[in-house]
Amino acid sequence: MKLVTIIGARPQIIKAAALSRAIRNHYANQIQEVIVHTGQHYDDNMSQVFFDELQIPRPAYNLHVGSASHGVQTTRMTEGIEALLIKEQPDYIVLYGDTNSTLAGAIAAAKIHVPIVHIEAGLRSFNKSMPEEINRIVCDHCSTLLFTPTKAGLENLKREGFSIDEGGPSTLRQAQDSGTAKPTIDNPKVYHCGDIMYDNSLYFADIAEEKTDIIKRLALSDQPYILATIHRDSNTDHPERLSAIFRSIIKLSEECQVVLPLHPRTAKLLKTNLDENLQKQIFSCQNIKLIPPVSFLEMIALERHAQLIMTDSGGVQKEAYFFKKPGIILRPETEWVEIVETGNAILADSDEMRIMQAWQHFKDNPPTVFPEIFGDGHAAEFMLEKILQVKQ
C-alpha cells in the first residue's frame, strides 16, 4: 500500500515523525510512504532541522511554495499536489491538522478521487474568522478516514452529520466500523484514536534531555521561568493585541524570567507593530530572553522545565498539558477545549488584565491533576492498522 503524506508547516513535520516511525518499526513490509513537503515553512530553523533531529525520511518532493497570500499559496500547492498524486497513484493521501497545505491536499485529492486520511479531524474553535477553522472543516468533509484525537472532536463530527457507531464500545478507540461497504467521501469512517503528538512527546521526552543543552546554555537550570510563544497573525498583525501581550510579558518578567523563542513573523513585526518605548523595554529587560526559533527537542526541554507556558499555538497548548504545566492561552477560544475544562489552562486572549489574573491564579493554585485525555501514546500504530484493515 502506498501513502502520500503532505507536510508544510513545522507542526506537521513533527506529527509526521510519529507516523513514519510507526511505519518503519511495524509496517515496513506493508506500507510505502512518499513524503511531500509543500514548502509552506521554508526557513531552515523552522523546517529542515526537524527532519534531521526527528529522523524523518527526506521528502521525495518539495514544492518550494514559500510565503504568499492564502489564495496564491493554496493555489500553487493544489496544482503541485494534484500533479504528484496523478504521478504516484497512491492508495491514500495523509493530511495533518488545518494549514493551507492541508486544505490544498484535500482539494487536490478530492477532485481526482484519491481517498483522504485526515489526522486531527473534528477539531473546532467555532471561529470562522480563523483560516485554520475553514481549512479543517473543508478537509473533514472531503475525507474518507477521519482520525480524531479527542472525544470533543468525535462529538463535533457527529453534530455535523458524520455517522458514528453508537453501538460500539465507549472506549478511547470508539469507531464507526459497522457495515461492509468501502469508505468513501459519502460514507467515511470516523475513529477516536488519541493524539499523535502525545506519541511523540512520550517518545522524545528523555531523548531531549540527552540531546540538547538548551537549559544549561540559557542558564535556566536553577531558575523558574515562563515559556512563551506568539505566532498567530491574529496577534502579530494587530498592534493593539501584540502590544497588550508584550506589556503583559514585561509585567510577568518582574516576577519571573520569560523565555520567548521568536517566530520569524513575530520577530519581523515587533519592530513595526510595537511603539519605540515598548520595544526598548522588551529588548533591554534582562529577565526576558528573546531567542531564535528552537528545534523540537529543544522545545520539549524548555516545556518540561518551565513553570508555566503561555502561547497562541494549538500544539504548544497540548504539549504544556502533556508535561503537566499550566497554560495561559493567548486566544479567545481553543479547539483543545478539554485542557481548559480540566482547569489546567485559561483562555486569556490578548487581554492584559486576564493574562495577569491567569498568572496569579496558577501561581497561587498550581494544578496537580492532569486527566489522561489524549490517549495512550500509540495513536500512530492504531491509525495504520485501521488504514490497512479498510484497504483489505
Place of cell 524523518: 56
Crossing angle for the helix pair 264-273 and 239-253, nearest 10 degrees? 100
CB atoms < 10 A from the CB of 243, how many?
16
- Among residues 358, 352, 172, the alpha carbon closest in space to that of 278 is found at 352
If 0-12 CB within 10 Å is exposed, 13-18 middle and 19+ buried, where does residue 24 land? Answer: middle
**Is 41 among the catalytic positions?**
no
What is the chain's Cα-based Rg?
21
Would you give the DSSP letter of residue 119? E
Q: Which amino acid is at 371?
A: P
Q: What is the 3-state secondary structure (H, E, C) of 252-271?
A: HHCCCEEEEECCHHHHHHHH
CA distance 35 to 26: 18
Element (H, E) at 18: helix 10-26
CB atoms < 10 A from the CB of 177, how many?
14
CA distance 173 to 149: 10
CB 138 within 8 A of CB 106: yes
Which residue among 118, 192, 231, 305 is the active-site one?
Answer: 231
CB 314 within 8 A of CB 335: yes
Would you give the DSSP letter of residue 44? G
222: Cα within 13 Å, side-chain hemisphere: 0
Q: Which amino acid is at 42?
A: Y
Q: Rounded to 10 degrees, what is the CA torsion of 23, 24, 27, 29?
A: 130
Give the cell for residue 18: 510519529
Residue 346, Ramachandran bin (φ over 0: left; ψ between -120 and 50: alpha; else beta): beta
CA distance 369 to 6: 36
CB atoms < 10 A from the CB of 190, how many?
25
Q: Which of the residues are catalytic?
A: 231
